[in-house]
Every structure is written in C-alpha cells, then in structure tokens.
Amino acid sequence: MKYAIIIPDGAADEPQEGLDGRTPLEAADTPAMDSLAAAGVVARACHTPKSLPAGSEVGNMSLLGYDPLTNFTGRAPIEAAAQGIELGDEDWAIRCNLVTVIDQEMRNFTADHISTAEATELLAVAQEELGSNALKFVPGVSYRNLLIWNAAEQPAPFTMDMRASPPHDLTDKSVLDSFPRGPGSDVLNNLMAATSKLFADHPVN
C-alpha cells in the first residue's frame, strides 16, 4: 500500500494583531481541509521533541519514521547526502545560506529567492578566493548551499558545542547578537565577513 503524506509546513504561521490574535490559518476559509477532516480521522501527535528546533528538518525526519533524538544532526548532512556527497566520521556539512543583510539587519533570508544559477556563480567565487582542499563551498538550490569541511585534509575546528542561528529566525531583526558562537565559530564568522566583501561588487549583487 502507498500513502501520500501532505505536510502544510509552516501554514499556521504566528498569531497576528490584524487577525484579532488568530493565525492566518485560523482566519482562513479552508473548505477543502474542513471536508477532509470531517470525512477522515483527526489525531494529534508531537513530532518535534522539546530539546530540538520545531522546524521541518526535525518534523519531516520524525514523520518518515526516524527518531530525531538519535538521528538529527541538522539540515546540511541530509542535503549533502541528497547531492551524493559522502561524509567521513570527522567531516562537517554546514548550511551556507545566501541572505540579504542591510545595516546589520536580516532583510531577506532567501537573498530575494536568488536563482540557482546566480547562487552557483557566487559559490564559485567564494571557493576560488576562500576555499581549499579542506574547505569547499558547494552550491545547492537557490539560497540553500553547503560548506563542507574535509577533515582528512585538515582537522575540523568545530565541535557539537558550536551554535548558530537559522537566518529565517532573524527576519527583520538585528544579526549582531546572532553570529555563530562556540568552538570553530571564528572560522565561520571570518568567512561570513570575507564573503560579504567578496560579493558586494559581484555582478550578481
């Protein structure tokens, strides 16, 4: 038997003052969803453990039958696997998003939905100027790209104690208090500063 799993990821959004404190989903006219709910079985389940971020990267893993408490290590390793990139036990895959920051404020976490072709151009420049055999910028889809650290070439400076903030959580907020922190964070912060200067005069920008 085959099943279709339809995931309205993020549909609820947040309560809005203009909607009397309701979410857009609560305020919306949803006859099709109402019909499905009335004709089917409605239940509740928690797919995001309290200790992990309540996002699609955790929820989808749980929906597909994997325990995120034992399998979740972030979005990047999953996306690396999807690209056929094999990671060694000591290698690191880190999400390398392209974003729009103006006056130290996160204006757009998708870089205005940059095209994959344009993103690939920027990643190529980053690799040429800042990459190495150990450090590789790998293009993905649109703003979603990867930074791969090959520990066989050079031991990675990161540990599981390093923390970073997802750009989508910083929309219209200052980024000054949200830079990576912990072991190896200086490497990422220096790369972000360097790419910001590198991309500033690039034709894609």
Give pLDDT, residue 98: 98
pLDDT tens by residue, 94-114: 999 999 999 999 999 999 999
Residue 97 · residue 140 · CB < 8 Å: no
Q: Rounded to two decimals, what is the model's pTM?
A: 0.82
Give pLDDT, residue 10: 82
Joined tokens for residue 162: 């390093």
Banded pLDDT at 4 (limits 50, 70, 90): confident
Give pLDDT, residue 3: 85
Give pLDDT, residue 9: 85
| Distance separating alpha carbons of residues 121 and 202, to the nearest angstrom | 9
Mean pLDDT of all residues in 1-21? 89
Mean pLDDT of all residues in 117-123? 97
Neighbours of 120 (CB within 10 A): 17
Residue 58 · residue 41 · CB < 8 Å: no
pLDDT tens by residue, 31-59: 999 999 999 999 999 999 999 988 888 99
Q: In percent, how much of the chain has pLDDT > 70? A: 100
DSSP string covering 77-103, please? Answer: HHHHHHTT----TT-EEEE----EEET
| Distance separating alpha carbons of residues 54 and 159, to the nearest angstrom | 22
